[in-house]
Structure 1
Amino acid sequence: MKRLCFVAAALLMALSADAKLKLAEVFTDCMVLQCDKPLSVWGTATPGAEVKVKVGRETGKAVAAADGRWSVRLAPLRASGKAVAFRVSGDGGRIELGNVLVGEVWLASGQSNMEYSMANHPRYAKPRKGDPDRLRHEYEQAGNPMIRLLYVRKDLKGDTLPTAGWQRISRESLKPFSAAAYFFAKALQDSLGVPVGVVSSSWGGTPIETWTPAGAYRESPLFGHAMDGNRLKANGQEVGWRYRKMIEPIAPMAMRGVLWYQGETNLIMGDTDIYTEKMRLLVESWRKAWADSSLPFYYVQISPMLYSGRKADPVAKTWQDLPRFWEAQARCADEIPLTAMVVTTDIPEDLADIHPPYKWVVGERLARLALNKTYGRTDVVCGGPVAKSISVEGDSIVVEFEGTAGGLATRDGKAPDWFYALTKKGRYSRVRASLRGNKVYISTDGLARRTEIRFGWDETAQPNLVNSEGLPALPFRRKVSLGR
């Protein structure tokens, strides 16, 4: 079937070699079209030329504008694992795509932890738990024909989207593809039973502003004054240059949602206090580009690491900078509609390594969010415990959690760890905690009258508190008055 895709591509080139009729680079053989949403199909032709489009049973036509661009909007299609017709004609040319399926489409973007590919296993440390070669085995054995991949190369020189087009799964197509995105697609396809297409467009070491349109920063009350053309005066970053080459050409191809795995570089740059707003600008501008205000964004918390040990960073770090950044990331889910975060405090093994190896865990947790929040699968637990309220009962501080599924537990069967509180001596000390149902009880003995409870509040913290599904609890800090 892979050979059929190449044959169809060759025929397409032969048919359109001398014609000016062209499709956007996101439309190729072997692609997946988004089901149950209106479809936008676009491309270029001679100005004034009429273009007709037929996808499945849906048809439409358009006239190329003065700049040659044309766009057709079609009614939604139902999911189908059987190939549908995809034909475009006009301007003396005819394009026919082969092996086009209809299902669920997602875009995965970010920096190196999203870029971390299915063939990166020889470069990075192997996991110590379970099968240490799981990534390699999956890479070598994957072959589900219902999963399709579109890989966007790290190439900013051309004028078109840098991609070889949609591919079926093979060792060749998986080699550069995001591991987290692949495992997300695998879990989604296994659960939904429909075709799944994922676009992988990411670049290691990149700050969030390079993935955001420059106009969003110029129009921002917070950042507008800090712009010098397309650059931020504070750090010299050119806003939007990866967006222009690696994201904008994909819009407005219909898709279900976005996966985002980024933040390490902005933490290193000292952007903790403004990261939530930068994330808001990214989400809102992408939704605007797709003309879809309800486009879900599911993103990944950056993992525990010794950032304070990085001596060459432009801004020196303390042990508190990472948990403060987690707080900023968690705030995104509270303040930006239709977003949610995967917690990853449990996946690092080497706290000097910025790339935790368990990318299948990340992908599967992202899939849990999508299944529950986007596809309505209420039977799927999509997150770990989150502190709901803190109160004082007698000689105990009581933290009540939501997201406990069948109840709170610990990964190692021991008492909950990484709970600290401000003592009468003015220091934060570890406190004993115990579980009762969905609550954690902490003794008030020796604590300051106005204390603060901190959970997992350290760059090295990997707390053992989980829910019945084994999903980790979200770190937090809360002030408490003991009233005495």
Structure 2
Amino acid sequence: MTNRLAILLFTLCLSAQLKAEIVLPRILGHNMVLQRDKPLIIWGKASAGEAVTVQFAGQTGTATTDAAGHWSIQLKPLKASNVPAELVISGTNTIRLQNILVGEVWLCAGQSNMEYTMRKNSKVKHGTATQLMDGHDPVDELDYAKNPQIRIFLVNRKELTKPDPGHRGWNIAADSALRSFSAPAYFFARELQQKLNVPVGVISSAIPGSRIEPWISEAAFQADVYYGGNNVEGEPGKFYEPMIRPLVPFALKGFLWYQGETNCFLNETITYAHKMQTLVTSWRSAWNDPTMPFVYTQLAPFRYSESKGKRVLTKETLPEFREAQELVLTLPNTGMITTTDLADSLSDIHPPFKWEIGRRLALLALANGYGFRKLVAEGPVFEKMSVKGQTALLQFTHTGGGLISKDGLPLTGFTIAGTDGVFVPAMARIDRKGVVVSAANVPAPVAVRFGWDEAAQPNLYNRAGLPARPFRTDNPLTGQLTSVNPTGSNTAKAAKL
């Protein structure tokens, strides 16, 4: 062999060794669920100029990597499938992802109440269940969770941006993987899977104690006219960059959000509503879908006024924060559940009834996002007030077959004020048109409040067993939040997924 030929062979071997293998983002792996009825993007990295092929469900897509080694292949939308399939990515190397299903995928994010694990759920005191779940106490769900149609992916802040050679981030919702997973997200998926009868995948991305700002990119704050390009405190992007951005463009149906306690401690109202609006619109923009469903949890009763923080909080701090949360419903395709009845202890900021929280989130998704129009998905919502003499008549939407007192006792949680603006406890009763409210010492009612105390757990429900949303008829925030669509124009729309 001549020296020239030996050098040529050595060079060819060296170049082959240096040629980078295909690397996938961590969210793509064995056991995953792919979103049905949407274009599916499979992406990753390899050598610059390398040809990559993706094969799945009878489709084949090809792409050539760019100068930085990035590649992306889009597959056509697929129908739901509970038959495990193989997804093959090939180039210099071949990756075979096994046990892939097609169904519904939701991203679930927030702070500690979203992070709240199934392990913690199993330690809840027995006997606190509001109802049995398929004949067993939901506290014991870990003993029964064996459904291979539910898949889970737990985001690790330190690992999501790193490749996983084993591609094992997704798991069937059972055993040790489920023990460490979000209870609200799991129970949401459980309800959804039972009602839709298709595979469901849920991604949990949550950090205990986190404010809302870190979940929003710095670029989103800079682009939002409300902030005028000014810097926002709270470390914007801190969690978005390692825990949300790497998930884009993995196809999703929608988002679940359970966060706000930390911002409530900061005594925020309208500023929180604007931040949450920025989060919703920027996340939808990241996934290039301005109509993606966004369902979230209104905060449960807790004694914020007894906190020892730098800010002085009152018994009305929580109701005012809830009012700000409700403002976000002006954005299209949003929904919010009420949790006034789910606090087991007013000194515990982590309500134990995560199975019911997950179920209520699923009810909203099913009723408004999946066509279950006859399903009662939320409790009574104040609509309007009229005054006649010494009484105020309150009318509600979402009455679900009629208003009731949950415990059969006189209605609780109502206060009323006259022209002096002083609110006093009120008598309230249900009639065929709504709720009639009055107080002997208020001859000319001007305003009514309901559940307007951090500890309030009122007994006004609809016949579907869902509690009425707290409110005040003298809401000063009405009209202060407008939604911004992708073209930049302002709109105000009713909440509808």
Same fold (TM over 0.5): yes
Q: Which letter maps to 2:266? A: M
Q: Deviations over 1:370-405 (max 9, x none)?
A: 101110111211111001111123542110111001
The within-5 A match list for 1:30-429 is 30-90=31-91, 92-121=92-121, 128-129=128-129, 134-155=137-158, 159=162, 164-227=168-231, 232-233=232-233, 237-311=234-308, 313-333=309-329, 335-423=330-418, 426-429=421-424
Distance in 2, Cα, partners of 1:281 & 1:479: 26
Distance 1:17 1:280, change over 3 A: farther
Shift of 1:135: 4.7
Based on CA coordinates, which of the two structures has the bigger radius of gyration?
2
Structure 2 residues not aligned, in runs of 5+: 1-16, 476-497
Distance in 2, Cα, partners of 1:80 & 1:355: 36
Distance in 2, Cα, partners of 1:380 & 1:288: 30
Shift of 1:96: 1.2
Distance in 1, Cα, partners of 2:394 & 2:121: 40
Secondary structure of the structure 2 residue equivalent to 1:241: coil
Q: Which letter maps to 1:397? A: A
Q: Which is worse superposed, 130-139 or 113-122?
A: 130-139
Secondary structure of the structure 2 residue equivalent to 1:185: helix
Secondary structure of the structure 2 residue equivalent to 1:265: helix
Distance 1:221 1:19, change over 3 A: closer
Q: Deviations over 1:404-444 (max 9, x none)?
A: 01100111011221110114665311111110135001136
Secondary structure of the structure 2 residue equivalent to 1:421: strand
The within-5 A match list for 1:8-47 is 20-47=21-48
Q: Which letter maps to 2:471? A: F
Shift of 1:164: 4.6
Q: Which is worse superposed, 77-86 or 218-227?
A: 218-227
Is contact 2:406-2:461 (8 Å) kept? yes
Shift of 1:130: 5.0
Q: Which is worse superposed, 104-113 or 59-68?
A: 59-68
Distance 1:182 1:122, change over 3 A: closer
Distance 1:473 1:65, change over 3 A: same
Distance in 1, Cα, partners of 2:56 & 2:105: 17
Q: Which is worse superposed, 23-32 or 214-223?
A: 214-223
Shift of 1:122: 6.6
Shift of 1:460: 0.6
Is contact 1:404-1:438 (8 Å) kept? no
Shift of 1:17: 13
Q: Which is worse superposed, 349-358 or 22-31?
A: 22-31
Q: Which letter maps to 1:266? A: N
Distance in 1, Cα, partners of 2:276 & 2:351: 23
Shift of 1:73: 1.1
Aligned-residue RMSD, C-alpha: 2.4
Is contact 2:211-2:260 (8 Å) kept? yes
Q: Which is worse superposed, 109-118 or 133-142?
A: 133-142
Q: Which is worse superposed, 354-363 or 272-281?
A: 272-281
Structure 1 residues not aligned, in runs of 5+: 1-15
Is contact 1:118-1:135 (8 Å) kept? no
Shift of 1:134: 3.7
Number of corresponding residues: 455
Q: Deviations over 1:56-91 (max 9, x none)?
A: 02221111111111111111001011123311111x
Shift of 1:124: 6.0
Distance in 2, Cα, partners of 1:408 & 1:450: 22
Runs of 4+ in 1 over 3 A off after TM superposition: 16-19, 121-136, 156-164, 423-426
Q: Which is worse superposed, 464-473 or 416-425?
A: 416-425
Distance in 1, Cα, partners of 2:114 & 2:238: 19
Per the alignment, residue 7 of structure 1 pairs with none
Q: Which letter maps to 2:193? A: Q
Distance in 2, Cα, partners of 1:144 & 1:219: 43
Give the structure-2-normalised TM-score. 0.87
Q: Deviations over 1:205-255 (max 9, x none)?
A: 00011011111112223334541xxxx34xxx2111111101111111111
Q: Which letter maps to 1:325? A: F
Distance in 2, Cα, partners of 1:17 & 1:473: 64
Distance 1:281 1:425, change over 3 A: closer
Is contact 2:124-2:139 (8 Å) kept? no
- Identical pairs, percent: 41
Q: Deviations over 1:147-167 (max 9, x none)?
A: 011111243796469995110
Is contact 1:401-1:439 (8 Å) kept? yes
Shift of 1:194: 0.6
Distance 1:161 1:288, change over 3 A: farther
Is contact 1:152-1:161 (8 Å) kept? no
Shift of 1:445: 4.2
Secondary structure of the structure 1 residue equivalent to 2:357: helix
Is contact 1:127-1:358 (8 Å) kept? no
Secondary structure of the structure 2 residue equivalent to 1:295: coil
Is contact 2:108-2:204 (8 Å) kept? yes
Secondary structure of the structure 1 residue equivalent to 2:378: coil
Shift of 1:451: 2.1
Q: Which is worse superposed, 64-73 or 300-309?
A: 64-73
Distance in 1, Cα, partners of 2:177 & 2:386: 53
Distance in 2, Cα, partners of 1:226 & 1:22: 38
Per the alignment, residue 459 of structure 1 pairs with 454
Distance in 2, Cα, partners of 1:374 & 1:345: 24
Shift of 1:302: 0.8
